[in-house]
């Protein structure tokens, strides 16, 4: 369960964050085209997009038109007084899209304020930026102790220590880092569906993959009537469709299909063989090529999502073999050919 939260730390692009806090504002722009997931993360907190260019979901007016109303009803707490203008970040745009959808669905403003408090006010008083950084620091120190640190880890650790030691920087981060930004970043980095369940009277539950949380506490009572807002659906406005397909909606895949995608993400595939319904065989052998290309990974994901296969066999670098088909699913572990 803890793994669900080890990915919700601040984005690695600390330089852009430091520039923002020290008021080095880049030129404003519209989204010229949809972004890669990597670029989305890099620009997530940067206020470089022209809000007036983004229309409401009914297409009748700019989102900018609703700002006075939303501010008056305490739905924009993350913007310091007098600092709300035409330039917004992707993080802010996603929240504005959520407000826009709740408005269109007729969700009460008083209840929306409670939703706002859940994501932003709670994060502010919980010192969420500091918590995120402390968690990242713990992960990096554990990797160092195990002798598995990567070359850039020491630099990131130094940057984390620097920010943790600067109260002004941490204060500035409190206006950006929220439980909503944590949820969005988790979705992008882990590659699993995330969502927001909004119940009557402003109650909020977060969905991460197949688990449900209130902040960091697991919950199970999610069957009551609610509004569901998919993070993946919100990302569709900003992220390239081909890359967005990397985010897996759990209920669309069988358990074994998810294992295949997990091993692909971990780069733990030694050999993958798929017999598709056209009797064509898709075979990937990383013993010779060492790595799976982006196009190969995309083809595998497409086949699994479309259920367009008869049989799948995957051998992993840690000597496990998984074999399944659409009617008979047989899973084995150990070396290929092993009975274990």
Residues 184 and 296 in one domain: no
In the predicted structure, residue 213 carries a pLDDT above the cut 90: yes
pLDDT of residue 23: 34
Q: 247 in a domain, yes or no?
A: no
Q: 337 in a domain, yes or no?
A: no
What gap in Å lies between CA 70 and CA 68, rounded to an integer?
6
Q: 269 in a domain, yes or no?
A: yes
pLDDT of residue 147: 85
- Count other C-beta atoms under 10 Å from residue 60's C-beta: 8
Residues 49 and 173 in one domain: yes
Task: Give how many domains the chain has, as a whole number.
Answer: 2
266: confidence class by pLDDT, cuts 50, 70, 90: low
Out of 183, 203, 235, pick the residue that ends a domain: 235
Q: 340 in a domain, yes or no?
A: no
In the predicted structure, residue 278 carries a pLDDT above the cut 90: no
In the predicted structure, residue 333 carries a pLDDT above the cut 80: no
Residues 156 and 41 in one domain: yes
Query: For the chain, what percentages of helix, strand and coil (3-state, to nearest 5) are there?
Result: 45, 20, 35
Out of 181, 208, 235, pick the residue that ends a domain: 235
Q: 245 in a domain, yes or no?
A: no
What gap in Å lies between CA 142 and CA 127, rounded to an integer?
23
Domain of residue 71 covers: 2-235
β-strand partners of 208: 194, 211
Q: Which of 261, 263, 228, 230 is nearest to 246 (CA)?
A: 261
In the predicted structure, residue 15 carries a pLDDT above the cut 70: no
What's the mean pLDDT when you consider all of the chain? 76
pLDDT digits (tens, 9 = 90+) for 84-131: 557 888 999 999 999 999 999 999 999 999 999 999 999 999 999 999
Residues 275 and 173 in one domain: no
Residues 264 and 304 in one domain: yes
Q: 29 in a domain, yes or no?
A: yes
What gap in Å lies between CA 323 and CA 303, rounded to an integer?
16
Residues 81 and 214 in one domain: yes
Residues 227 and 257 in one domain: no
| Locus of tokens 């088909």 | 325
325 φ, ψ (degrees, to nearest 5): -135, -175
Q: 97 in a domain, yes or no?
A: yes
Residues 268 and 178 in one domain: no
Residues 192 and 287 in one domain: no
pTM, whole model, 2 decimals? 0.68
Return the minimum-mean-pLDDT range out of 33-37, 175-179, 266-270: 266-270
Out of 235, 264, 298, pick the residue that ends a domain: 235
């Amino acid at each position: 369960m803890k793994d669900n939260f080890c990915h919700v730390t601040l984005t690695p692009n600390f330089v852009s964050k430091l520039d923002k806090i020290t008021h080095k504002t880049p030129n404003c722009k519209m989204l010229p085209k949809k972004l890669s997931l990597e670029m989305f993360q890099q620009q997530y907190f940067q206020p470089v997009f022209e809000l007036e260019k983004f229309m409401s979901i009914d297409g009748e007016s700019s989102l900018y038109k609703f700002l006075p109303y939303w501010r008056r009803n305490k739905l924009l707490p993350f913007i310091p007084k007098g600092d709300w203008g035409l330039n917004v970040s992707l993080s802010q745009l996603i929240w504005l899209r959520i407000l826009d959808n709740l408005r269109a669905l007729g969700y009460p403003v008083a209840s929306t304020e409670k939703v706002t408090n859940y994501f932003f006010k709670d994060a502010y008083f919980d010192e969420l930026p500091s918590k995120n950084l402390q968690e990242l620091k713990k992960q990096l120190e554990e990797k160092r102790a195990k002798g598995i640190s990567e070359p850039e880890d020491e630099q990131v650790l130094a940057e984390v220590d620097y920010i943790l030691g600067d109260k002004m920087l941490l204060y500035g981060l409190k206006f950006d880092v929220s439980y909503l930004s944590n949820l969005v970043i988790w979705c992008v980095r882990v590659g699993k569906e995330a969502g927001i369940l909004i119940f009557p009277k402003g109650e909020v539950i977060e969905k991460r993959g197949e688990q449900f949380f209130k902040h960091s506490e697991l919950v199970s009572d999610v069957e009551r009537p609610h509004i569901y807002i998919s993070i993946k659906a919100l990302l569709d406005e900003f992220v390239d469709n081909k890359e967005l397909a990397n985010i897996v909606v759990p209920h669309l895949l069988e358990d074994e299909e998810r294992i295949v995608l997990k091993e692909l993400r971990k780069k733990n595939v030694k050999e993958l063989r798929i017999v598709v319904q056209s009797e064509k065989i898709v075979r990937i052998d990383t013993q010779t090529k060492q790595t799976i290309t982006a196009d190969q990974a995309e083809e595998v994901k497409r086949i699994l999502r479309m259920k367009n296969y008869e049989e799948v066999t995957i051998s992993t670098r840690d000597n496990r073999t998984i074999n399944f088909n659409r009617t008979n699913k047989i899973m084995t572990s150990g070396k290929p050919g092993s009975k274990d």
